[in-house]
Amino acid sequence: MGDILSNYDILGAFWMTIKLSVLGTVGALVLGTVLAVMRVSPVTTLRAIGTSYVNVFRNTPLTLLMVASILGMTYILGMSLSDDQQTNIFRWAVIVLSVYHAAFICEAVRSGFNTVPVGQAEAARSIGLSFGQSLTQVILPQAVRGSIAPVGSTIIALIKNSTVASVIGVSDAAGMMATIVENETGTFGVFLIFAVGFVILTLPLGMAFTAMSRRLAVRR
Amino acid sequence: MGEPLVVMKDVNKHFGDLHVLRDINLEVASGEVVIVIGPSGSGKSTLCRTINRLETFESGSITIDGDPLPLEGKSLARLRADVGMVFQSFNLFAHKTILENVTLGPIKVRKEKKADAERHAMELLERVGVALQADKYPAQLSGGQQQRVAIARSLAMRPKVMLFDEPTSALDPEMINEVLDVMVQLAKEGMTMVVVTHEMGFARKAANRVVFMADGQIVEQAPPSDFFTNPQSDRAKDFLGKILTH
Ligand SMILES: Nc1ncnc2c1ncn2[C@@H]1O[C@H](COP(=O)(O)OP(=O)(O)OP(=O)(O)O)[C@@H](O)[C@H]1O
Ligand SMILES: [Mg+2]
């Protein structure tokens, strides 16, 4: 057991998981919010694009997207994001995590939009705010506060789903675990180490989101 | 009184098959206070809301201070800034403090400096009697206080005309007067107002004219004293009979 801890860079692997998760989360939040705005916009084509996006990516297995990014995009279409192979894989993994989870963030934020009464938008327009100003000053801030809890669940799912990146060769926690299990005997404890590692990453986050959604809740 | 501030000409509007506004012709002079009353579903709210284009309409025209209502975008927003609106359900911005509610429009739309906007906002909050609540959030205030803040929020834009859609009907009875008092004061100071309300006391005290609507039409209009004591149409007689008995 002690050998395993000293022979393998488990912390480094978790650090990779953290990097994947943080960058993936940022991407998913930005893209997901844009998609949510599209889905509630008065423009029919934008709404249609948003809806199709969600339907496609929510219903495609993440593993498939992950593999398609490397096999399809890099090998077949030649779209490489870096000359360094490891960097290229990492970047694709971040993009796939963002793109996939954006669909879920979109739905979470959209449920937040539904917590905002129409009267808020009418009041915003009636004091002369433009469409964009109404959105950024009045609707979005309330929608975001109303969606903290479901967004939190999505981010926790993203952290756990980031393990799928190991199938295309990102050396994250899951990749490391597979390597150790393959090379060592008596590895039951290894599962425990990694399970505890993920709990350490996600449990405080879950608690923070619950606390935040309580504290920032819009009282009506 | 000079040129009419609000002019509605042959305005028609449908909700699907329902003809909610039928050939509405209405002029409101600068400084005039017009009360709109009528049975539920007669189109009072819709009339009010078409004036700042929260509702669209199909035919006819509406002008504010000589300018026709623009269809979309920036010029519509600019026009709305000149037309205050007070809702039955207050609609204060729930995530902003009372002070921020009042300064948002002046800062974002009128491009006032924050300090100037805040000074003006505090004056207005003082005037409507809720200055002490400036740093609280809407949910912490009573309905009457929220509605007075909503009036201050509209006033902060220095509107040419203010629309009120049943401003007191969501309030507990003991809070109605604190809101009406503010409105009477506004009327006295010469604000042009279109008010949908069934508060006869307010109509008698502050209104220049009562407009009676039924089934999407303006059936009758007259000064309050004439209208309440001597209505002309059967619909109005019938309606007054119903509301004046209790
Ligand atoms: N958004 C809408 N879609 C469809 N029908 C509507 C809509 N808004 C109002 N209506 C209908 O239009 C008619 C007029 O409504 P409006 O709200 O203007 O009446 P009102 O005179 O304000 O009534 P109340 O005294 O009950 O407030 C009603 O029959 C109402 O059901
Ligand atoms: Mg109404």
pLDDT at A182 over 70: yes
**Nearest CB to A127 within list B81, B89, B139:** B81
3-state class (DSSP) for residue B83: strand
Nearest CA to ligand 1 atom 6: B15
Summarised one tens digit per residue, pLDDT across range B187-230 is 999 999 999 999 988 998 999 999 999 999 999 999 999 999 99
Q: Judge whether B203 and B196 are in contact, CB under 8 Å.
A: no
Does B74 contact A at CB distance below 8 Å? yes
Region A156-163 average pLDDT: 94
Question: Rounded to 5 degrees, what are φ and ψ at B217?
Answer: -120, 150
Quickly state the pLDDT bin for A217 (edges 50, 70, 90). confident
Q: Do B95 and A130 touch (CB under 8 A)?
A: no
SS3 A108: helix
**Domains within chain A, CATH numbers bracketed:** 2-215 (1.10.3720.10)
**The pairing of beta strand B59-64 with beta strand B67-68:** antiparallel
Query: Rounded to an integer, what distance in angstroms lies between the CA atom of residue B236 and that of residue B37?
Result: 10
What is the spatial order of strands in the sheet that B83-86 belongs to? B83-86, B161-165, B192-196, B33-37, B209-214, B217-222
Of the candidate ranges A127-136, A169-178, B107-116, the one whose mean pLDDT is the lowest: A169-178
Is the confidence at residue A151, as pLDDT, over 70? Answer: yes
- Spatial CA neighbour of A220 closest among B83, B96, B6, B94: B94
Alpha-carbon distance B175 to B145, whole Å?
8
Touching check for B29 and chain A: CB below 8 Å?
no
Q: How far is CA B1 from CA B5, B28, B51, B189, in A?
A: 10, 10, 21, 15
Which residue, by CA, sits nearest to atom 25 of ligand 1? Answer: B40
Which of the four pLDDT bands, split at 50, 70 and 90, describes residue A86? confident
Which atom of ligand 1 is closest in space to residue B38's alpha carbon?
Answer: 21
SS (H, E, C) B137-150: CHHHCCHHHHHHHH
| In chain B, beta strands by DSSP E | 4-15, 18-29, 33-37, 59-64, 67-68, 83-86, 161-165, 192-196, 209-214, 217-222
pLDDT of amino acid A103: 97
CB pair distance less than 8 Å for B54 and A122: yes
Instruction: Quick: pLDDT tens for B76-104.
Output: 898 999 999 999 999 999 999 999 999 99
> The pTM is what?
0.86
How high is the pLDDT of residue B105? 97
Euclidean distance between CA atoms A95 and A97, whole angstroms: 5
Interface test with B, best of A127, A144, A215 (most B CBs within 10 A): A127
CB–CB of B87 and A124 under 8 A? no
Q: Minimal Cα distance from A220: which residue of B?
A: B139
Torsion of the alpha carbons at A178, A184, A187 and A191, rounded to the nearest 10: -20
By Cβ distance, the residue of A120, A133, A142 closest to B91 is: A120
Average pLDDT per 10 consecutive residues for chain B, totaling 246 residues: 85 95 96 95 96 93 91 85 96 97 97 97 96 96 97 97 96 93 95 94 93 96 93 92 74
Which of B12, B45, B215 is the best mutation target for the ligand 1 pocket, counting ligand atoms within 8 Å of the beta carbon and taking the most?
Answer: B45
Residue A157: its pLDDT value, please? Answer: 95
Q: Are B193 and B164 in contact (CB under 8 A)?
A: yes
SS3 state at A42: coil
Q: Has residue A142 got a pLDDT over 70?
A: yes
Contact check, Cβ <8 Å, B104/A117: no
Q: Is residue A186 predicted with pLDDT exceeding 90? A: no
Residues of B with CB below 8 A from A131's CB? Answer: 73
Average pLDDT for chain A: 91
Nearest beta carbon to residue A218 from set B83, B84, B95 = B95
Tell me whether B243 touches chain A (CB under 8 Å). Answer: no
> Could you say which ligand is closest to the alpha carbon of residue B43?
1
Find out whether B149 and B114 touch, Cβ atoms under 8 Å: no
pLDDT band at A202 (very low <50, low <70, confident <90, very high): very high
Flag if B104 and A120 touch (Cβ within 8 Å): no
Phi, psi of A88 (to 5 degrees): -60, -45
CATH number attached to the domain at B4-201: 3.40.50.300
Please answer whether residues B7 and B63 qualify as being in contact, where contact means their C-beta atoms are separated by less than 8 angstroms.
yes
Please state, in angstroms and rounded to a whole number, the distance separating the CA atoms of residues B30 and B50. Answer: 19
Statement: residue A79 has pLDDT above 60 = yes
Ranges of each domain in chain B: 4-201
Q: Which residues of B146-169 are buried (b: 16+ CB within 10 A; e: fewer)?
A: bbbbbbbbbbbbebbbbbbbbbbe
Residues near B91 by beta carbon (within 8 Å), at least 6 away in sequence: A117, A119, A120, A122, A123, B150
- Ligand 1 pocket test: which of B18, B24, B89 has the largest number of ligand atoms within 8 Å of its C-beta? B18
Q: How confident is the model at residue A10 (pLDDT cuts 50, 70, 90)?
A: confident
CA B218 – CA B27 distance, rounded (Å): 12
Q: How many CB atoms lie within 10 A of CB B113?
A: 10
Predicted pLDDT at A180: 87
Nearest CA owner, ligand 1 atom 28: B41
Alpha carbon B182 to its chain centroid, in Å, reads: 13
Question: B63 CA to chain A: closest CA distance, Å?
Answer: 16
